[in-house]
Amino acid sequence: MFTTNPGLEPVVAEELVATLGPVTITPAAPGYLLARAEAPEPVVTAAWPRLRSVQHVLSPLARRTLPDPPSLADVRAAVAELELPALRAARSFRVEAVRVGQHPFTRVEVAQKAGGALVARHGTRVDLSAPEVTVRVDLAGRELLVSLPLTHAPLHTAERPFRQRVGLKRNVAFAAVHLAGLTAPAHIADPFCGSGTILLEAGYAHPNAQLWGSDWVARAAQGTLQNLEHDGFGARAHVQPLDVRAIRDVYPVGRVDAVICNPPFGVQVGRKIKFFGFYRGVLELMKEVLRPGGRLVLLTDRKQAFDDALRHVGGFRRLRALRVETGELAPWLVAVERLSPG
């Protein structure tokens, strides 16, 4: 079982097929996919480090649909029915709980109720510091998913020289690169680069592409360059502090294969930006910077304003749009293609 941000399930499915070959995929809950591959288990296990749309890999044990709305008593009753051979053979265990959605209780309370039920059923003692077995209990809406975690930290977490307080998750950045649908791009750009997460994912996905980045905050541009150099992409990186309106003076105008970015949006900046005019200006710039057939992929929680600007500017074809839950927000990941003039 693979976990991701709700909304990114199609990207995970496409990456699994591309990485593992034929795979049978069944949705288990928003952000959770059960997958059965034809490839041998060692091949599947060896492929985990290459999966960039995935957060965690789990070995599923049980799935139960609880009453609506679910209660802690429902959690305990469902877990109490489970026979887990791994706990019969273990001297100690702990429960790691994850709660997704709106519930009148915390994940800690879920862990306590599930742990109590497993102690009563199996008699195995709890050890929170050094357990022999960790049982993961996910409550996603009404779906209760019990598993053994095969990864204990999100895949591809890495310490880099520069981090922002709030940054784009790596797997969401990968999804943005994936939606561009490029095969052998020469130039990929991000004019709102932040800490460089999108450019890093583009660097891994396309080892021959030149990476163009800019941000009006000098510290962000400098940090992006440090991160790209840290991951071995320094020779391909072209990053500098720059207002987005000046990118035509620096970027390879008319030759960029994809602009992939996370421009400003959200409640706080929404008070300062007129989004129709903002997106209209961005799209007019992209018509100059992108080659015919080039792609623009961006995140927005103001999709109506973006769609209105897209119709107003013209010259683009819609490709895909996915609504992605990330933190407390659910922005759209939108991909469009620049049409040939005339």
CA distances in angstroms from 64 to 102, 153, 167, 331, listed in the order given: 18, 25, 34, 29
What contacts 24+ positions apart, CB below 8 Å, involve 231-236? 231/158, 231/160, 231/200, 231/203, 231/204, 233/199, 233/200, 233/203, 236/203, 236/209, 236/210, 236/211
Task: Please give the Cα distance from 68 to 243 (Å, whole number).
Answer: 50
Cite the beta strand spans of 16-155 per DSSP E: 23-29, 32-37, 56-65, 92-100, 125-126, 133-140, 143-149
* Of the candidate ranges 89-103, 148-162, 257-271, 308-322, the one whose mean pLDDT is the lowest: 257-271
Helix (H) or strand (E) segment spanning residue 225:
helix 218-230
Residue 26 phi, psi (nearest 5): -130, 125
- Domain 170-338, second-level architecture: 3-Layer(aba) Sandwich (3.40)
Cis peptide before 30 (omega within 30 of 0): no
The conformation of residue 329, written as its DSSP 8-state character, comes to: B
- In 3D space, the residue among 307, 262, 110, 246 whose CA is nearest the CA of residue 172 turns out to be 262
Q: Is there a contact between 168 and 236 (Cβ–Cβ < 8 Å)?
A: no
- Domain 58-152, second-level architecture: 2-Layer Sandwich (3.30)
Task: Please give the Cα distance from 80 to 157 (Å, whole number).
Answer: 34
108: tokens are 């800690």
Residue 94 pLDDT greater than 80, yes or no: yes
Task: Please give the Cα distance from 315 to 312 (Å, whole number).
Answer: 9
CA distances in angstroms from 140 to 35, 57, 72, 77, 330, listed in the order given: 18, 16, 13, 17, 16
The answer for 196, left when phi > 0, alpha when psi is -120 to 50, beta otherwise, is left
- Sign of the Cα pseudo-torsion (328, 154, 113, 147, in order): positive
CB burial of residue 276 (10 Å; 0-12, 13-18, 19+): middle
Residue 269 pLDDT greater than 50, yes or no: no
Confidence of residue 272 (pLDDT cuts 50, 70, 90): low
Helix-helix angle 72-80:107-122, to 10 degrees = 30
26 forms bridges with which residues in the sheet? 34
Task: Please give the Cα distance from 197 to 220 (Å, whole number).
Answer: 11
User: So what's the pLDDT on residue 271?
Assistant: 56
Mean pLDDT across the chain: 94
- Sign of the Cα pseudo-torsion (189, 192, 193, 197, in order): negative
- In 3D space, the residue among 333, 293, 334, 300 whose CA is nearest the CA of residue 315 turns out to be 293
Confidence of residue 318 (pLDDT cuts 50, 70, 90): very high
105: tokens are 């209780």
Q: Is there a contact between 118 and 87 (Cβ–Cβ < 8 Å)?
A: yes
The conformation of residue 244, written as its DSSP 8-state character, comes to: G
User: So what's the pLDDT on residue 3?
Assistant: 97
User: So what's the pLDDT on residue 270?
Assistant: 47
* Of the candidate ranges 166-170, 254-258, 269-273, the one whose mean pLDDT is the lowest: 269-273
Q: Please write the tens of the pLDDT for every residue from 21-73.
A: 999 999 999 999 999 999 998 999 999 889 999 999 999 999 999 999 999 99
Q: Please write the tens of the pLDDT for every residue from 221-253.
A: 999 999 999 999 999 999 999 999 999 999 999
Q: Please write the tens of the pLDDT for every residue from 144-169.
A: 999 999 998 899 887 899 988 778 99
